[in-house]
């Protein structure tokens, strides 16, 4: 190659001209019998992703029957009026498809991914599974047995134990405080009639949404949906109002004793707004700079400065109902106390010191720039369509201009106010899962310490 | 299987030996910069296991023109996503960037390829040593069944085989790594000659090549590392061990030597694993998890490795079920497959599942870059990625029968993990 001038490596090259991304165009249509379809055609996409969601999440179950919503969703594909459980699985798997049936706190959903040429078969099967589940007594008993086993195994994973303890401490033995999967006691209590009645109440067409992204002709899909999803537009009952327990005064420390653990799982959290709260956009920016990216404050502090952990992060739970903040890190046990004190100090700093304009600018451009990363896959697009449908956002919510406007509306003054309001180290619950004899002395002075058996 | 929808591929080699693979795709204004170094844990020496991975961490600690942790900062402040990973055979570094920031990615990668050592300090090594020890605790030592795969590798590979030790390494060896080790490793392996640079996304190939030449062209090519020659597997025999762990259910692991990635029988082994445990209608899942409830879960996999590695079957045993009985049932299914081969419908299902998985991998730019880089690094030909669909299609019922028979005829390792309470 020809000689070139000496290269200046001291600074990154100037970027080329920005080519802005755009959220894919999609169609939103409510069908005559109630089902609402959000369809995003992506010509050339190698996979087709479909989700059929119902307002049948864990927020709608009574705490004494915790696990009912997830068990009901899980039983949808365990047999229909046409096929038994193995035949459903055999049919989907022979198409090379992946079908899942599960609930979260907000919804119960069927998700299916396969090659685009199997679309019609996929829609037919989804309709069959959603509309004529068999809830076979044997399958119900098998699901309960498996669930009880899985709940026992939950105690194998220290990170899971820590999450469960935090939620229990924040929300009590109530909705959001018990695992979505239930407890061995609540699962024992469940009867098949509970599943039937939960299904009848929450899996009607009027509030169902079908989300789809991939290579398809929307007109053809709408015609198929009208045929597959004809019937009475039964509406679900309104969302229950979940009463929150009063927050305890002062910080509390829960040590879950696991002698011999190789490490300590830390969780620090408190109640916080859910997804529909007007502060959410600002909180997203604030959380991202605090603990939502590699270069966040707590990760740089705990990992890159101190080497206490492989990674520290924070998040606000995104759901319809009341949320919470969690700060997570798995730390070397001898440094557990020091790590907690650094986290608390970072929370204090966020509340007491002004945020530099550059840090806000970096965080904004990060959030703007990474958005299209989530649009590479059809499943990623479906995820966004689900948010539009479930949280009731307008169709242009993810258009680049709107997204940018929300980020730009967040000011330094606002972030300071949000930090005061939504980061509350004095009322946090701290959970530490590890050897209590080593942990308790390190955590003294941080709040009333309670030791429980792991 | 349907043909994969990869775009037009371009390949180049700079004078210093750096191989370049370009695949333009303008569906989204994103670009992936993906750099594979042909070095992994199999290039380590005894007493320094885990070093390739610890070294990977050091590549995020700055270079001559990129201070401290600014590598991540530069990428994240423009909305990029970056990471690296270490494997037996290779170490990769990759960032997905807004397309107009391609130059930034090339500047960052070339700086640490050419100018890492001036920025290296003892403090950085100490901090990353602590981080990696915590990574090991988080991912291995404090996970249920966390040490099983390491023990299984010790059982299935002969003494001295480079896949016998874990990629993350042992605590003792992580503790023993020195700055001199970092210098020597860098000089030997982190060279243009030993790397493949893959760009996938929204760029003009001519302009991109020019930028690559600008940033990488003047780096010295470096030595050609010696190939790693594996110790051969035993030809037959069974090795067994039992571990205890803080778990509620026992788990049974079976491991068998398997072909290297790219061999026709590797694709057969992949489909065999799928036939055994891929989904509820797979042979072992349907029988042992669903019908008879001997196991709560079952899975199997074969690794995409450069040298022959192993196929694993792992089953989590339901309460009150005997691990020995489960083991006999798994082997009996393999024997049936070795005698008669799978049914046509088993093969059809596995093929279609593989096609869906393959299509899924083509969706994200970084997965696609990794696939191209894998074929370029191990097989000298990124375009071989285009032929994977045909390789799966070429597998016959008889190939699968032969594959199952070969597993049964060769050596095998059996590991059981028991709940500590039940064992004591």
Task: Compute the distance between CA of residue B251 and CA of residue B134 in angstroms, rounded to an integer.
Answer: 25
Q: Do residues B13 and B20 touch, judged by C-beta distance below 8 A?
A: yes
- Over residues A303-315, the pLDDT tens digits come to 999 999 999 999 9
**Tens digits of residue pLDDT in B221-252:** 999 999 999 999 988 899 999 999 999 999 99
Residue A246 has pLDDT above 90, yes or no: no
Q: For residue A86, which phi and psi values (nearest 5 degrees)?
A: -65, -35
**Residue B264 CA, distance from chain mean position:** 19
Statement: residue A1 has pLDDT above 50: no
**Closest residue in chain B to residue A364, using alpha carbons only:** B77
User: E strand or H helix at A255, and its extent?
Assistant: strand A252-257
Per-residue pLDDT at B424: 53
Q: Which tops the pLDDT comparison, A249 or A222?
A: A222
Backbone φ, ψ for residue A9 (5° rounding): -95, 5
For range B286-312, the mean pLDDT? 97
Residues in chain B: 424
Instruction: Specify the pairing of strand A108-114 against strand A48-54.
Output: antiparallel
> Cα(A236)–Cα(A436) distance, rounded to whole angstroms?
47
Q: pLDDT, tens digit, for every residue of A354-380?
A: 999 999 999 999 999 999 999 999 999
A94–B356: do the CB atoms touch at under 8 Å?
no
Task: Check A94 against B69: CB less than 8 A apart.
Answer: no
Give contacts of A96 with chain B, Cβ < 8 Å. Answer: 349, 351-356
Do the Cβ atoms of B267 and B275 come closer than 8 Å? no
SS (H, E, C) B317-380: ECCCCCHHHHHHHHHHHHHHHHHHCCCHHHHHHHHHHHHHHHHHHHHCHHHHHHHHHHHHHHHC
Q: Is pLDDT at B332 greater than 60 in this prediction? A: yes
- Mind telling me how many Å the CA of A285 is from chain B's nearest CA? 13
Reported confidence tier of residue B5, pLDDT bands at 50, 70, 90: very low
Rounded Cα distance between A130 and A141, Å, is 20
Distance between B125 CA and the closest CA of chain A, angstroms = 10
Closest CA to A187 of A155, A226, A148: A148
Each residue's pLDDT tens digit, A15-47: 999 999 999 999 999 999 999 999 999 999 999
Residue B218, judged by CB atoms within 10 A of its CB (0-12, 13-18, 19+), counts as middle
Mean pLDDT, chain A, as a whole number? 96
Which residues of chain B have a CB within 8 Å of the CB of A373? 30, 79, 81, 96
**In the 8-state DSSP scheme, what is residue A306?**
T
**What stretch of H or E contains B393?**
helix B388-393
Q: Whose structure tokens read 């879950």?
A: A256
| Cβ count near A238 (within 10 Å) | 8
CB A159 within 8 A of CB B146: no
Whether A131 shows a pLDDT value over 50: the answer reads: yes
Say if residue B423's pLDDT is above 70: no
- Distance between CA atoms of residues B77 and A359, nearest Å: 9
pLDDT at A300 over 80: yes
| Closest in B79, B115, B202 to A366, CB measured | B79
**Would you state the pLDDT for residue A248?**
78
Of B15, B319, B360, the CB nearest to A149: B319
- Considering only CB atoms, B141 lies closest to which of A16, A263, A376, namely A263
CB contact under 8 A, A146 and B78: no
Residue B84, CA atoms < 13 Å, CB-side half-sphere: 22
Q: Do B131 and A1 touch (CB under 8 A)?
A: no
- A149: pLDDT strictly greater than 80: yes
- Whether residue B261 is predicted with pLDDT greater than 70 in this model: the reply is yes
ipTM: 0.95
- pLDDT tens for each residue of A384-433: 999 999 999 999 999 999 999 999 999 999 999 999 999 999 999 999 99
Query: Distance between CA atoms of A76 and A60, rounded to whole angstroms?
Result: 17
The backbone torsions φ and ψ at residue A209, rounded to the nearest 5 degrees and listed phi first, read -130, 140
3-state secondary structure of B8: coil
Query: Mean of the pLDDT values across residues B311-330?
Result: 97
Total CB pairs under 8 A between chain A and B: 226
Instruction: Determine how many CB atoms are found less than 10 A away from the CB of residue B341.
Output: 21
Whole-prediction pTM: 0.96
pLDDT greater than 90 at residue B6: no
Residue A4 — pLDDT band, cuts 50, 70, 90? low
Angle A396-A401-A407 (CA atoms, 0-180°, nearest 5)? 105
Q: Would you state the pLDDT for residue A247?
A: 83
Of A9, A145, A365, nearest to B78 by CB-CB distance is: A365
Is B311:B253 a contact under the CB 8 Å cutoff?
A: no
pLDDT digits (tens, 9 = 90+) for B49-105: 999 999 999 999 999 999 998 999 999 999 999 999 999 999 999 999 999 999 999
The rounded percent of chain B whose pLDDT value lies above 70 is 98
Taking alpha carbons only, the member of B199, B182, B201, B206 closest to residue B18 is: B199
CA distance to partner chain A, nearest, from residue B233 (Å)? 33
| DSSP calls for A173-207 | SSTTTS-TT--HHHHHH--HHHHHHHHHHH--STT
Of B164, B239, B163, nearest to B412 (Cα)?
Answer: B239
Residues B18-36, buried b or exposed e (16+ Cβ, 10 A)?
bbbbbbbbebbbbbbbbbb
Q: What secondary structure letter does DSSP report for B139? A: I
Q: What is the pLDDT of residue A233?
A: 87
> A377 is written with which tokens?
């896959």
Residues of chain A with C-beta less than 8 angstroms from the C-beta of B392: none
CB contact under 8 A, B127 and A14: no
Token pair, residue B360, equals 């899924």
- Tokens 């049948």 belong to A56
Distance of alpha carbon B24 from its chain centroid, rounded?
25
Which value, in Å, is the radius of gyration of the alpha carbons in chain B? Answer: 23
Radius of gyration of chain A (CA): 24
Strand order in the sheet with A323-331: A309-316, A323-331, A264-272, A429-434, A252-257, A448-453
Q: What is the pLDDT of residue A242?
A: 85
Q: Which residue of B has its CA nearest to A371?
A: B79
Residue A88 and residue A125 in contact, taking contact as beta carbons nearer than 8 Å: yes
Residue A125 CA to residue A133 CA, distance in Å, equals 11
Give the Cα separation of A230 and B238 in Å (integer).
59
Nearest chain A residue (CA) to B60: A304
| pLDDT value, residue B4 | 42
B107 touches chain A (CB under 8 A): yes
Q: What is the mean pLDDT of residues B396-401?
A: 98
**With 90 as the cut, is the pLDDT of residue A193 above it?**
yes
Q: Is B123 exposed, middle or buried (0-12, 13-18, 19+ CB in 10 A)?
A: exposed
Note whether B354 contacts A96, CB cutoff 8 Å.
yes
* pLDDT of the residue at B3: 41
């Amino acid at each position: 190659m020809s000689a070139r001038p000496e290269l200046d490596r001291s600074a990154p090259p100037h970027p080329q001209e920005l080519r802005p991304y755009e959220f894919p165009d999609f169609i939103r249509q409510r069908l005559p019998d109630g089902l609402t379809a959000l369809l995003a055609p992506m010509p050339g996409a190698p996979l087709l992703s479909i989700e059929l969601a119902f307002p049948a999440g864990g927020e709608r179950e009574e705490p004494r029957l915790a696990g009912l919503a997830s068990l009901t969703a899980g039983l949808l594909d365990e047999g229909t009026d046409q096929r038994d459980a193995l035949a459903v699985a055999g049919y989907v798997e022979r198409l090379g498809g992946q079908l899942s049936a599960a609930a979260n706190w907000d919804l119960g959903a069927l998700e299916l991914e396969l090659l685009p040429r199997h679309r019609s078969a996929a829609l037919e099967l989804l309709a069959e599974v959603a509309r004529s589940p068999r809830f076979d007594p044997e399958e119900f008993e098998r699901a309960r047995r498996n669930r009880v086993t899985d709940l026992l195994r939950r105690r194998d994973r220290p990170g899971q134990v820590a999450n469960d303890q935090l939620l229990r401490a924040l929300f009590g033995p109530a909705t959001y405080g018990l695992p979505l999967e239930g407890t061995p006691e609540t699962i024992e209590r469940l009867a098949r009639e509970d599943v039937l009645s939960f299904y009848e109440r929450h899996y009607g067409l009027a509030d169902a949404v079908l989300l789809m992204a991939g290579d398809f002709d929307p007109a053809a899909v709408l015609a198929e949906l009208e045929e597959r999803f004809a019937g009475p537009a039964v509406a679900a009952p309104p969302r229950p109002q979940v009463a929150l327990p009063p927050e305890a005064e002062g910080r509390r420390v829960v040590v879950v004793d696991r002698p011999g653990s190789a490490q300590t799982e830390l969780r620090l959290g408190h109640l916080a707004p859910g997804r529909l709260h007007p502060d959410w956009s600002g909180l997203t920016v604030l959380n991202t700079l605090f603990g939502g990216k590699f270069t966040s404050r707590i990760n740089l502090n705990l990992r890159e400065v101190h080497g206490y952990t492989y990674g520290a992060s924070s998040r606000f739970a995104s759901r319809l109902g009341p949320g919470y903040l969690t700060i997570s890190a798995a730390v070397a046990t001898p440094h557990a106390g020091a790590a907690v004190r650094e986290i608390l100090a970072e929370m204090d700093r966020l509340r007491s010191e002004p945020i530099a304009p550059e840090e806000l600018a970096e965080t904004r451009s990060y959030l703007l720039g990474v958005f299209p990363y989530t649009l590479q896959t059809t499943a990623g697009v479906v995820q966004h369509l689900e948010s539009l449908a479930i949280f009731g956002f307008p169709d242009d919510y993810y258009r680049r201009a709107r997204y940018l406007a929300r980020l730009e509306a967040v000011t330094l003054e606002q972030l300071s106010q949000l930090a005061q309001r939504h980061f509350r180290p004095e009322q946090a619950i701290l959970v530490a899962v590890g050897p209590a004899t080593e942990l308790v002395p390190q955590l003294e002075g941080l709040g009333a310490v309670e030791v429980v058996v792991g | 299987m349907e043909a994969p929808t990869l775009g037009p591929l371009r390949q180049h080699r700079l004078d210093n030996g750096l191989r370049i693979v370009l695949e333009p795709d303008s569906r989204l204004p994103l670009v992936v910069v993906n750099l594979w170094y042909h070095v992994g844990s199999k290039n380590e020496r005894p007493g320094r296991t885990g070093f390739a991975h610890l070294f990977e961490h050091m590549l995020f600690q700055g270079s001559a023109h990129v201070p401290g942790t600014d590598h991540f900062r530069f990428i994240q402040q423009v909305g990029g996503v970056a990471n690296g990973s270490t494997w037996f055979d290779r170490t990769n570094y990759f960032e997905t960037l807004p397309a107009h920031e391609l130059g930034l990615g090339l500047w960052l990668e070339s700086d640490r390829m050419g100018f890492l050592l001036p920025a290296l300090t003892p403090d950085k090594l100490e901090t990353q040593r602590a981080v990696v020890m915590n990574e090991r605790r988080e991912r291995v030592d404090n996970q249920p069944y966390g040490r099983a795969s390491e023990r299984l590798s010790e059982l299935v590979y002969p003494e001295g085989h480079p896949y016998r030790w874990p990629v993350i390494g042992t605590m003792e060896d992580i503790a023993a790594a020195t700055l001199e080790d970092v210098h020597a490793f860098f000089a030997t392996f982190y060279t243009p000659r030993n790397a493949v640079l893959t760009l996938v996304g929204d760029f003009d190939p001519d302009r991109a090549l020019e930028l690559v030449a600008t940033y990488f062209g003047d780096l010295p090519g470096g030595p050609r590392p010696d190939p790693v020659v594996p110790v051969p597997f035993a030809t037959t025999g069974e090795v067994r061990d039992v571990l205890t762990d803080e778990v509620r259910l026992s788990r049974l692991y079976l491991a068998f030597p398997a072909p290297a990635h790219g061999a026709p029988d590797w694709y057969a082994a992949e489909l065999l694993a799928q036939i055994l445990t891929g989904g509820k209608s797979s042979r072992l899942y349907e029988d042992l998890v669903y019908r008879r409830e001997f196991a709560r879960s079952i899975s199997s996999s074969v690794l995409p490795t450069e040298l022959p590695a192993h196929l694993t079957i792992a089953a989590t045993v339901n309460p009150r079920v005997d691990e020995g009985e489960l083991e006999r049932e798994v082997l009996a299914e393999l024997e049936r497959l070795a005698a008669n081969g799978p049914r046509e419908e088993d093969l059809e299902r596995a093929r279609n599942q593989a096609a869906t998985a393959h299509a899924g991998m083509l969706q994200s730019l970084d997965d696609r870059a990794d696939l191209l880089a894998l074929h370029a690094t191990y097989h000298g030909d990124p375009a071989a990625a285009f032929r994977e669909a045909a390789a799966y299609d070429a597998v016959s019922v008889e190939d699968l029968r032969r594959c199952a028979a070969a597993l049964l005829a060769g050596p095998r390792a059996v590991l059981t993990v028991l709940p500590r309470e039940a064992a004591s």
